[in-house]
Amino acid sequence: MEEEWTPKITLFCCNWCSYAGSDDAGVGRKQQPPSTRTIRVMCSGRTDPGFVLTALMEGSDAVLFTGCHIGDCHYISGNYKAKKRFEMLKEILDEIGLEDERLQLQWISASEGSEFAEYIRKVTEEIKAIGPSPLRQEWMK
Amino acid sequence: MNIGDRIVAWSKDEEIKKEGASGGLVTSLLTAALKGELVDEVIALQKVSEFEGVPIRTSNVDEVIKCSGSLHAAPINLTKFAVRFFEAHPDGTLALPAKPCDARGIIEQAKRKKINLEKTYLIGLNCGGTMPPITTMKMLEKMYEINPDDVIEEEIERGKLIFKTEKEEKAISIDELEEAGYGRRENCRYCETNIPVMTDVACGNWGAGKNETFVEIFTEKGLKLMNNAIELGLIETAPATEKGIKIREKTNSVMEKVAKKWHKKIFVPIEDRLERFHYYMDVMEDCIDCEACKYVCPVCACDESKCIDFYDPMDSHKISIYHLVRLLHISDSCIGCGQCTDVCPAEIPLTILHRRMADRIQAKYDYIPGMDMKIPPSFEVE
């Protein structure tokens, strides 16, 4: 029996909001597909472009940045840095020919469990629609 | 003399005048800066042959004089040599001749606190392009039919490349050479910065007579440099003619137009996403992870490099993370100097890849690197 393909999504969660948000989604028993591999970082500003590129090179179909809403950063300006990095990364991934959906940024606070689950559902559907990452296919050869 | 003045100048020293190009002004300015104790050291390009030059850092006037003469076929960027100088002497002063890409590299390094621009005298050189040495030798044999070893002088004048031997002098237009695949380096063809307006003084033979150099003074430092040389009696000056100024402006605008044409020709956008993906995979596949492109890059200013933190040569990815991080990291400051393509042992067209990325980022953030100190690097978060 052929199993249905599920994407592998690397999810960077900020310790102070989105990680608690994903916890909230679990506690509230919000249904979400098991497609994400969560990595907890102390701040979304800790997400180095190198992490994102490594994740994509090693076979992630998509990478998600999540963090506190602008203005709510525990370290004052970490998410501004994340936003700038995200913008630059978006450009380079587009330049080397990866789809727009493979890198996404979403601000999720600690209390937004249902939003979190909904967001994961939405992204998983999007990635399923565009298929496995060409980088991963390249890697499997 | 004032800031903004346009003059013609030449060396008083007969020997320098004979050896140096266009009246030997740059050599005289460098020697004057050393003699007048304006600077501690000077960086200059020592001639090995017509196709090879070695950068030297010296405080010896005689060695500087030996460096006179133009070398169009020795494409070296002096930025990293200036960085090494300030690493060794944080309070030192330095003077160096700088073509636009040297000057832009130095300004980008100064923004990243690697060079003290207030203590660096930049003698700008107008630049119509440099040539790759090996290709030039082949070109001499094929197009000019002269032995490369016989060449004693080369010059670019009115869109023509002139080579002189003891017996003869041959000129072929640059357009014709470039059609045949020779001529200037690829990145020079589409470079739009010909007059180094970011330096202290810009020197060049556009708009000047024979054995004269056209000089435009941009800064206080440039004024000091000129006055010092005049006081020491090493150079002579005269105001520039109206005609000369017009010729210079016209040459510049013609060069800019040609560069824009080349830019369009070289950077054909690849619309299809998957095609773009395979293009990058195919060219980057040859990389042998030697990191030479990082060492020569004039705008790379990391102490501990991010680009080598995440990759392992054993990864065997078709496109290495090293290049991806570098593409990203250099995208705001890439000046398109072409050093990475020059040194690449696997002959990857790195400059084109970097410029493809940099054009996007620099247009997005409306940032042109290396033009002035006013705008901080676009990576900075406000």
pLDDT digit string, tens, across residues B102-116: 999 999 999 988 999
**Structural domain boundaries, residue B122:** 6-130+184-261
In B, minimum Cα distance to A95 occurs at B357
For residue B136, which of B84, B188, B182 has the smallest C-alpha distance? B182
In a domain, B374, yes or no: no
In a domain, B199, yes or no: yes
State the Cα–Cα distance between residues B212 and B17, nearest whole angstrom.
9
Q: How many domains does chain B have?
A: 2
Question: What average pLDDT does chain A have?
Answer: 90
Of B318, B328, B364, the CB nearest to A138: B318
Amino acid at B327: L
B94/B10 same-domain check: yes
State the Cα–Cα distance between residues A110 and A74, nearest whole angstrom.
12
Q: Binning pLDDT at 50, 70 and 90, where does residue B276 land?
A: very high
Could you give the angle at the alpha carbon of A12 between the alpha carbons of A7 and A13, nearest 5°? 125
B193/B58 same-domain check: yes
State the Cα–Cα distance between residues B333 and B109, nearest whole angstrom.
10
Residue of B270, B274, B276, B277 to mutate for A, most A C-beta atoms under 10 A: B277
Residue of A43, A53, A100 to mutate for B, most B C-beta atoms under 10 A: A53
Of A54, A92, A98, the CB nearest to B357: A92
State the Cα–Cα distance between residues B278 and B338, nearest whole angstrom.
23
Strand partners, A38: A11
In a domain, B144, yes or no: no
Of B317, B357, B381, the CB nearest to A95: B357
Which chain B positions have a beta carbon within 8 Å of A48's beta carbon?
306
Between chains, do A92 and B279 touch, taking CB under 8 Å as contact?
Answer: no
B295/B247 same-domain check: no
B116/B226 same-domain check: yes
pTM of the predicted protein model: 0.90
Of B274, B356, B361, the CB nearest to A88: B361
B238/B306 same-domain check: no
In a domain, B360, yes or no: yes
B360/B284 same-domain check: yes
Q: Binning pLDDT at 50, 70 and 90, where does residue A1 land?
A: low
Of B317, B324, B357, the CB nearest to A139: B317
B103/B229 same-domain check: yes
What SS3 state is found at B380?
coil
B64/B93 same-domain check: yes
Between chains, do A95 and B356 touch, taking CB under 8 Å as contact?
Answer: yes
Which chain A positions have a beta carbon within 8 Å of B360's beta carbon?
91, 95
State the Cα–Cα distance between residues B147 and B162, nearest whole angstrom.
14
In a domain, B172, yes or no: no
Q: How far is CA B131 from CA A19, B51, B95, B187, B214, in A?
A: 56, 9, 24, 10, 23
Higher-pLDDT residue of A123 and B22 is A123
Residue B33 contacts residue B248 (beta carbons within 8 Å): no
Separation of CA B267 from chain center: 21
For residue B83, which of B74, B92, B72, B75 has the smallest C-alpha distance? B92
With a CB cutoff of 8 Å and minimum separation 6, the contacts of A7 are A35, A61, A62, A124, A127, A128, A132
In a domain, B382, yes or no: no
Amino acid at A33: P
HEC states along chain A?
A: CCCCCCCCEEEEEECCCHHHHHHHHHHCCCCCCCCEEEEEECCHHHCCHHHHHHHHHCCCCEEEEEECCCCCCCCCCHHHHHHHHHHHHHHHHHHCCCCHHHEEEEECCCCCHHHHHHHHHHHHHHHHHHCCCHHHHHHHC
Per-residue pLDDT, averaged over B168-178, amounts to: 84
In A, minimum Cα distance to B319 occurs at A57
B233/B249 same-domain check: yes
Structure confidence by residue, pLDDT tens digits, A58-95: 889 999 999 999 988 999 989 999 999 999 999 999 99
The domain boundary, picked from B233, B261, B289, lies at B261
Residue B99 contacts residue B194 (beta carbons within 8 Å): no
Residue B19 contacts residue B29 (beta carbons within 8 Å): no
Which chain A positions have a beta carbon within 8 Å of B361's beta carbon?
88, 91
Residue-range domains of chain A with CATH: 9-140 (3.40.50)
Q: Where is average pLDDT lowest: A37-51, A91-105, A106-120, B364-378? A: B364-378
Of B280, B281, B310, the CB nearest to A53: B310
Q: Look up residue A58 and give its two tokens.
A: 């090693």
- Is it the case that residue B308 has pLDDT exceeding 90? no
State the Cα–Cα distance between residues B93 and B122, nearest whole angstrom.
11
The domain boundary, picked from B261, B289, B314, lies at B261
| Rg for chain B, CA atoms, rounded | 21
Q: Binning pLDDT at 50, 70 and 90, where does residue A139 land?
A: low
The domain boundary, picked from B261, B289, B313, lies at B261
For residue A10, which of A43, A46, A42, A53 has the smallest C-alpha distance? A53
**B125-163 as b/e, with b when 16 or more CB fall inside 10 Å?**
bbbbbbbbbebbbebbeebbebebeebeebbbeeeebeb
In a domain, B316, yes or no: yes
In a domain, B31, yes or no: yes
Note which residues in 302-341 of chain B have CB less than 8 A from chain A. 306, 309-310, 315, 317-319, 321, 324-325, 327-328, 331
Complex confidence, ipTM:
0.89
B121/B242 same-domain check: yes
Between chains, do B328 and A92 touch, taking CB under 8 Å as contact?
Answer: yes
Structure confidence by residue, pLDDT tens digits, B54-84: 899 998 888 888 887 778 888 889 999 999 9
Between chains, do B328 and A88 touch, taking CB under 8 Å as contact?
Answer: yes
Of all residues in chain B, the percent with pLDDT exceeding 70 is 99
Structure confidence by residue, pLDDT tens digits, A7-23: 999 999 999 999 999 99
- Is it the case that residue B12 has pLDDT exceeding 90? no
Strand partners, B46: B54
Residue B50: per-residue pLDDT: 79
Strand partners, B203: B125, B215
For residue B195, which of B250, B243, B260 has the smallest C-alpha distance? B250
B59/B105 same-domain check: yes
B327/B251 same-domain check: no
